[in-house]
Amino acid sequence: MPAPPAPLLVAQGIEKTFDQTRALAGASVEVSAGEVHGLLGANGAGKSTLSRVISGHVRRDRGTLAWRGAALDPRSPRDALSAGIAMVMQETTLAPDLSVLENIFLPELAQPGRLRPALQRQRARDILESLGQHAALPLGSEVRRLSAAQRQLVEIAKALAVDATLIIFDEPTASLSPGEVERLFDVMTRLRAAGRALVFVSHRLEEVFAVTDRVTVMREGRTVGGSLPTASLSQSDIVRLMVGQDLGRIYAERPAVHAAGEPVLEVRHLCAPPRVRDVSFTLHRGEILGLGGLVGAGRSETLEALFGLRPHSGGEIRLHGKAFSPRRPADAIRAGIGFVPEDRRLQSIVPDFSVRENLLLGHLSAYRGFGLGYATRDARVAELLRLLGLPNERLLDANMLNFSGGMQQKIIIARWLLLDPRVLLLDEPTKGVDIVTRSSIYAMLQEVADRGAAVLVVSSDFEELLRLCSRIAVVSDGATIAEMESAVLDEAKLTLFAAPRSSMAANARLLADLSEETGGAAFWALRDGGRLFCLNRVGGTGVSDPGFVAGATPRFEETRIPAALRSAPGTFVAEPDGQRSTLMAQVHSHRGHDLGWIGLTVPGVTTPDAATIVRRVQDAITSNI
């Protein structure tokens, strides 16, 4: 990479204290045009505060800011915006009732002399075009109807409408699924190529390596490594800078073959409108089961229905073999179910309460005084302190807000552990949590499962699902479409299963058309080492396995590996029976994920035409996923 040009922004020795908390104690960062600069650090290191100082949301106490070589002193976000600095926050600041277009041009700065609506529309289209996202946003749609990823795109377009040169992204990937993350990275890469400077805050180190050019690492409010080229660093270099010590393995070793205990929670065809249509899975004693899928697929709503927060209108839930229909959370808690929701701040913590009070909250709501005796309870609290890595019992009386997001999350999980739950439901348990805390949360969950609880984890982080969970059930558009051992899955296969129903149905139709045109049998298969799993097979008579079309669970069956795949992929190869030949062609998603193979078995001798048709289907599938 060529040496970056003179820095656009230089922040030096920034200090900031909130009440008692010293958030920044000498933080510095330099950002140049045309780079993606990672801002890293453990929870509470001061990344957000530094970002907010630069973008005018927070006033610094001490230190200097320079922008294009001149002193900068933003007193408000508007000041920073007029200099060309914008921030895309974790919680978007959009007006939900206004349209996409109205939001993009909401800042007065974006409307010099007030652009006429037609011009606004054209300008918004140009901006989205420059991001390669012209089709991604309906300009007239109300922002409340958009997905998290679309709202983020509106924020970016809003920054570009005022021609921001520096855009700070504060944990932009926390609520996105892998495909959406890649799309965001594509947008960021285009912004960088256009000469803009980007600051990227993230706890996911694989993302940092994927998208940043340089990184600045913070610890306890200070910069401990400034503008280091990402390519010169390893993951352990970064962790060492972040926490001052090495971190062992992040994920505990999963047993290769899961010895499942008896079923604890059996969910059959659960329907909980509007999102959950047909969710089925079985959760066993002592296992960690993942519920994977895209944001909006209905996973959180499934957990809410199981915890009595959302009524279900159909299907069956069985707990320890008995029908279970919770009407309110207290029903679920009494039945031994704990729930860690996605939004810590809104749904979980009581900010003004102490850690002790927050810990005991589940206990109180479940038992109203008839639970554990004081002595037992205090002994359990002491044990939990050890599990939490809290050094000092006095911290129990500290206010919850004194702790970083990661520590708050551990306290919320511990709240449920105090009740010895038989089932623990967790929604995105490591969202916004740094790598060190994440690793201790994984260890906590493993310990809970080892003690015999059944753990159900919703996560959009596919790597986390694959490494933490022994099995994964994938939900797509409100229905489970696969439930299998993590060992036979990888990120690409999860991506394939999680794809929206509409694109999978379109793919099944493509296979059906292929069968019809060639008079053969088309199928889609995934290779796993020496085995081939057939996903859906479409025979000459039409769709024989209607899985993806009808919304039923597709059979995911092991099949023999055709000669075509063993000897010459991409060409027709005669089958051993001498009657048929098969062609196997690899399919990728448009983002390059390996999606396995499509195969076509045709009677007799083949014509080159069939191969051309296969290629057409292959391309069509690629653009669908």
Ligand X SMILES: Nc1ncnc2c1ncn2[C@@H]1O[C@H](COP(=O)(O)OP(=O)(O)OP(=O)(O)O)[C@@H](O)[C@H]1O
By CB under 6 A, name the binding residues for ligand X.
Answer: 18-19, 21, 23, 41, 43-49, 404-405, 434
Least distance between ligand X and beta carbon 247 (Å): 16
Judge contact between 471 and 261, C-beta under 8 A: no
Q: Which is nearer to ligand X, 406 or 554 (CB)?
A: 406
CA nearest to 104, candidates 138, 135, 132:
138
CA distance 340 to 407: 14
CA proximity to 159, closest of 186, 189, 131, 117: 131
**Sequential DSSP letters for 168-226:** EEESTTTT--HHHHHHHHHHHHHHHHTT-EEEEE-S-HHHHHHH-SEEEEEETTEEEEE
Nearer to ligand X, 162 or 208 (CB): 208
Nearer to ligand X, 52 or 277 (CB): 52
Answer positive or negative: Cα dihedral of 310, 313, 315, 318: positive
Please report how close the Cβ of residue 17 comes to ligand X at its closest, in angstroms. 9
Residues 464, 469, 470: CA angle, nearest 5 degrees: 145
Peptide bond into 391 cis (omega under 30): no
CB 307 within 8 A of CB 339: yes
Residue corresponding to tokens 């019809």: 516
Indicate the residue among 155 and 483 with the shorter CB distance to ligand X: 155
- Residue 160: C-alpha distances to residues 102, 153, 166, 514 (Å): 14, 11, 10, 44
Q: Which is nearer to ligand X, 44 or 326 (CB)?
A: 44
Q: Which is nearer to ligand X, 59 or 555 (CB)?
A: 59
Cα distance between residue 411 and residue 354, in whole Å: 11
Phi, psi (rounded to 5 degrees) for 235: -60, -40
| Residue 232 three-state SS | helix
How many angstroms separate the Cα of 21 from the Cα of each of 44, 400, 432? 10, 13, 20
Report which residue type is found at 582: T
Least Cβ distance, residue 240 to ligand X (angstroms): 17
8 A C-beta contact, residue 580 and residue 602? yes
- Taking phi over 0 as left and psi of -120 to 50 as alpha, with beta for the rest, 548 belongs to alpha
Nearer Cβ to ligand X, position 20 or 612?
A: 20
The minimum distance between CB 13 and ligand X, in angstroms, equals: 16
Measured from the CB atom, the residue of 216 and 480 that comes closer to ligand X is 216
Distance of CA 119 to the CA centre of its chain: 36
Q: How many residues does the chain have?
A: 625
Instruction: Tell me the two tokens of residue 437.
Output: 């805390």
Residue 47 Cβ vs ligand X, minimum distance, rounded to whole Å: 4
Separation of alpha carbons 591 and 588, rounded Å = 8
| CB of 57 or CB of 422, closer to ligand X | 57
Report how far residue 26's alpha carbon sits from residue 473's, in angstroms, rounded to the nearest whole number.
46
Smallest separation (angstroms) from ligand X to the CB of 396: 18
Nearer to ligand X, 150 or 404 (CB): 404
Give the whole-angstrom CA distance, residue 141 versus residue 546.
34
- Closer CB to ligand X, residue 82 or residue 404? 404
Least separation in angstroms between CB 71 and ligand X: 23
To ligand X, the closest distance from the beta carbon of 44 in angstroms equals: 4
Question: Contact at 8 Å (CB) between 166 and 191?
Answer: no
Phi/psi-derived region of residue 529, left when phi > 0, alpha when psi is between -120 and 50, beta in every other case: left
**Closest CB to ligand X among residues 16, 593:** 16
